[in-house]
């Protein structure tokens, strides 16, 4: 028990929250950017997986982590455009198409991994590269705070900066206004000559971009190899985090941090010899409970307003 308390109160624990939050936050922003324009991107999981795979492969081939990142993100964006094509041009059901893309990515990455390395489980035989960690001057020297905030992976910083960029984009720019218009009332957007299809393509592309960063982080930062199905539900958890946060990037961030906390806690529990099969389950149970509480509070909120009105 002592060990547990000690583990949770250490700066390393808070540092690890930010670390494990990173991929979830990217996934949540990906979910947000598609949801704002009214489309649910279930395919985030597969896009992240694809990006994680190509990031590792291309970095190993070229010897550059940055080119790897570019390749990973590009693969994810291409996948998101393909999803948009099926959804918008061929009128495929978006949820089913998303599921199909996840199945596709899961199969394609293993197939290609085996083709390229002869191994089906992971790319550990390959020498791939990781993106750098960054120390923030001044902040890194502050005790405790420096240990928590400084020395993170470059994509971790990009993730948190993206929160502000995305929020500004959605609420202050013309394109953001159009995205929201398409999401709230596509007919209204169409009536002023906005192409709903084009806007949804853009939103899906941006969503793929975010998912790509999240995937690249997993294989080129979080660890330094690709493993079969290594996203392990993070894309879905990102969807849940966004659902809790509504149409706000900050909401998505708080939601993601909540799940990051659950995941970090589960690692701490493993350190005190609680079976990993058991602790691995916790973030998912946590997600279900959070969803239930959120949905319930939304219902109660409506009821409460009504009751107050009745009294008045």
Partner 1 sequence: MRNKMVLFEVVRTALTIAIALLLGYLILIFATDDPNTAFKWFIYGPISRLRRFVELLNRATPLIFTGLAVSIVFQAEIFNIGAEGQLFFGAVAATFAALYFPQIPFLHVIIVLIFAMAAGGLWAAVPAYMKAKWNASELVSSLMMNYVAFYLGLYIINYHMRDVNAGFLVSYKFPRTAWLPRLLRRYNLYPGIFIALGFAILVWFFLYRTKYGYELRMVGKNKEFARFSGIKVENVIIYSQIISGMVAGLAGAVEIMGLYKRFVWQMTPGYGFDGIIVALLARNNPLAVIPAAFLVAYMRTGALIMGRMTGIAPEIVMMLQAIIILLITAEAFLSFWKKRIIEKAAMEQEEKK
Partner 2 sequence: MKAIEMIDIVKVYPNGIVANKGVNFEVEEGEIHALVGENGAGKTTLMKILFGIEQPTSGEIRIFEKEVHIHSPHDAIAKGIGMVHQHFMLVPSFTVAENIVLGMEPKKGFSIDMDEAVKIVEEASKRYGLEVPPTERVLDLPVGIKQRIEILKALVRGAKILILDEPTAVLTPQETEELFVALKNLAKKGMTIIFISHKLKEVKEISDRVTVLRDGKTMGTFLTKDVSEEDISRLMVGRDVELVIERPEPKPGKIVLEVKNLNYFREDGVQVLKNVSFALREGEILGVAGVEGNGQRELVEILTGLRFGAIGSVRLLGEEILGYDAYTLRRKKIAHIPEDRVEKGAALKASIAENLISDRYYKEPFSKRLLLFPRKVIEYAKKAIKDFSIKTDSPLTPVGMLSGGNMQKVVVAREFTAGAKLLIADQPTRGIDVGSTEFVRKELIKVRDEGVAVLLVSADLQEILQLSDRIIVMYKGEIVGYFDKNEGLTEEELGYYMLGVKRHDENKIKEAFAL
- The C-alpha atoms of residue 114 and residue 119 are separated, in whole angstroms, by 5
- The C-alpha atoms of residue 82 and residue 76 are separated, in whole angstroms, by 10
Does residue 161 bind partner 2 (CB under 8 A)? no
Interaction partner, residue 190 (partner 2, partner 1, none; CB < 5-8 Å by kind): partner 2
For the bound state, the minimum distance from the C-beta of residue 35 to partner 1, rounded and expressed in Å, comes to: 12
Q: 143: which residues sit within 8 A by CB, 6+ positions away?
A: none
Does residue 89 bind partner 2 (CB under 8 A)? no
Interface residue with partner 1 among 104, 171, 254, 267 (CB under 8 A) is 104
Strand partners, 122: 227
Distance of CA 39 to the CA centre of its chain: 16
Radius of gyration of the chain (CA): 20
Does residue 92 bind partner 1 (CB under 8 A)? yes
Interaction partner, residue 250 (partner 1, partner 2, none; CB < 5-8 Å by kind): none
- Would you say 250 or 278 has its CB closer to partner 1? 278
Interaction partner, residue 280 (partner 1, partner 2, none; CB < 5-8 Å by kind): partner 1
Token digits of residue 58: 């291309």
Q: How far is CA 214 from CA 122, 155, 211, in A?
A: 19, 8, 5
Interaction partner, residue 240 (partner 2, partner 1, none; CB < 5-8 Å by kind): partner 1
Does residue 302 bind partner 1 (CB under 8 A)? no
Token digits of residue 110: 């293993």
Beta strands (DSSP E) in the chain are 133-134, 152-153
What is the Cβ-side half-sphere exposure of residue 136, based on CA atoms within 13 angstroms? 14
Token digits of residue 194: 């906005």
Residues numbered 178 to 217 that lie near partner 2 (CB under 8 A) are 178, 180-181, 184-185, 187-195
| Binding residues for partner 1 (CB under 8 A) | 42, 86, 89-93, 95-97, 99-101, 103-104, 106-108, 110-111, 114-115, 120, 232-233, 236-237, 239-240, 243, 275, 277-278, 280-281, 284-285, 287-288, 291-292, 294-296, 298-299
């Amino acid at each position: 028990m002592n060990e547990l308390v000690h583990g949770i109160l250490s700066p390393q624990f808070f540092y690890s929250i930010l670390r494990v939050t990173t991929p979830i936050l990217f996934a949540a922003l990906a979910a947000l950017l598609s949801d704002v324009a009214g489309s649910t991107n279930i395919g985030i999981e597969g896009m992240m997986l694809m990006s994680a795979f190509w990031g590792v492969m291309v970095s190993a081939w070229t010897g550059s982590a940055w080119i790897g990142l570019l390749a990973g993100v590009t693969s994810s964006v291409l996948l998101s455009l393909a999803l948009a094509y099926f959804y918008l041009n061929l009128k495929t059901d978006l949820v089913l198409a998303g599921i199909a893309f996840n199945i596709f990515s899961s199969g394609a990455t293993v197939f290609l991994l085996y083709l390229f390395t002869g191994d089906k489980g992971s790319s550990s035989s390959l020498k791939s590269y990781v993106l750098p960690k960054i120390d923030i001057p001044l902040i890194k020297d502050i005790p405790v705070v420096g240990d928590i905030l400084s020395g993170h992976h470059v994509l971790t910083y990009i993730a948190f900066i993206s929160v502000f960029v995305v929020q500004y984009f959605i609420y202050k720019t013309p394109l953001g206004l159009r995205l929201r218009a398409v999401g709230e009332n596509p007919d209204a957007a169409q009536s002023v000559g906005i192409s709903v299809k084009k806007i949804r393509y853009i939103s899906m592309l941006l969503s793929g971009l975010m998912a790509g960063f999240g995937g690249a982080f997993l294989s080129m930062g979080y660890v330094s190899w690709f493993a079969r199905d290594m996203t392990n539900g993070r894309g879905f958890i990102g969807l849940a985090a966004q659902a809790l946060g509504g149409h706000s990037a900050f909401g998505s961030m708080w939601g993601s941090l909540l799940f990051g906390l659950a995941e970090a806690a589960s690692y701490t529990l493993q350190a005190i010899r609680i079976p990993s099969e058991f602790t691995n389950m916790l973030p998912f149970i946590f997600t279900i409970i959070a969803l239930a509480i959120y949905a319930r509070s939304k219902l109660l909120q409506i009821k409460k307003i009504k009751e107050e009105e009745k009294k008045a």
